[in-house]
Amino acid sequence: MAYTIVIPARYGSTRLPGKPLLDVFGKPMLERVWEQANNSGAERVVIATDDARVFDVAQGFGAVVAMTSVDHPSGTDRLQQVAEQLQLPADHILVNVQGDEPLIPPTVIDQVALNLERHTEARVATLCEEIVTVKDLRNTNIVKVVCDAQGMALYFSRAPIPWPRDAFAAASDVMPATGKWYRHIGIYAYRTGFLHDYVRWEPAPQERLEQLEQLRALNQGVSIHVEQSIEPVPGGVDTEEDLMLVRALFQGKS
């Protein structure tokens, strides 16, 4: 199947300024992400940025780069601009790979793209993995997802959903013995036509409350297909601690 990867890469970051260009064992983090994306089955990989420094570095290591507006409120808006620049047809599949995930497995990139191709009733596809500790279940930085019997998302939340009423009434610091909970993995495949619709919609009330963009799509009745990832997906780099861990992992591979 033919699909395109877009890697949004903003220079600005409150916790890690210049994050895409930070060194990860001898290469900019963005280059590490780009290499993983190029090991997938995508026909094209494009880096989307709003900063000349990122643009120049990405071109220097051989990437195709799209310069986008500095005014985009989200990465989804940035993807839409790239889709427009590339004049992609409405049914073309575009995968958003975050620019701060240098350990993203190429297999899961292919997985999410293939899932969207197979599920023609969905306009978006994404992935999840099982939550196995009560610490993660209660962590508001870990987004949870609940799906219906057909694998379509019912809701995403920072709260522990579904709420294990009886188990937490007895012991709220222990993982419930029954039930399953899933962490949302922030990789998305979109049909390009969806992106053009998305940027015209107003943010949903629940999106504003939870600060989760995908709730705008659910609010509009969009079907989002969710499947468990076929292999573990390491977290992205949001803090200095994350960066040190990723650098150590790459050093261990050498």
Unique residue bearing structure tokens 């290591």: 61
pLDDT of residue 254: 61
Neighbours of 69 (CB within 10 A): 9
pLDDT of residue 227: 98
**Topology annotation, domain 3-230:** Spore Coat Polysaccharide Biosynthesis Protein SpsA; Chain A (3.90.550)
Residue stretches of the chain with pLDDT short of 50: none
Burial status of residue 245 (CB atoms within 10 A of its CB: 0-12, 13-18, 19 or more):
middle
- The answer to whether 97 touches 5, Cβ cutoff 8 Å, is yes
pLDDT of residue 251: 80
Nearest to 31 by CA among 41, 20, 43, 42: 20
Annotated domain spans of the chain: 3-230
Burial status of residue 194 (CB atoms within 10 A of its CB: 0-12, 13-18, 19 or more):
buried
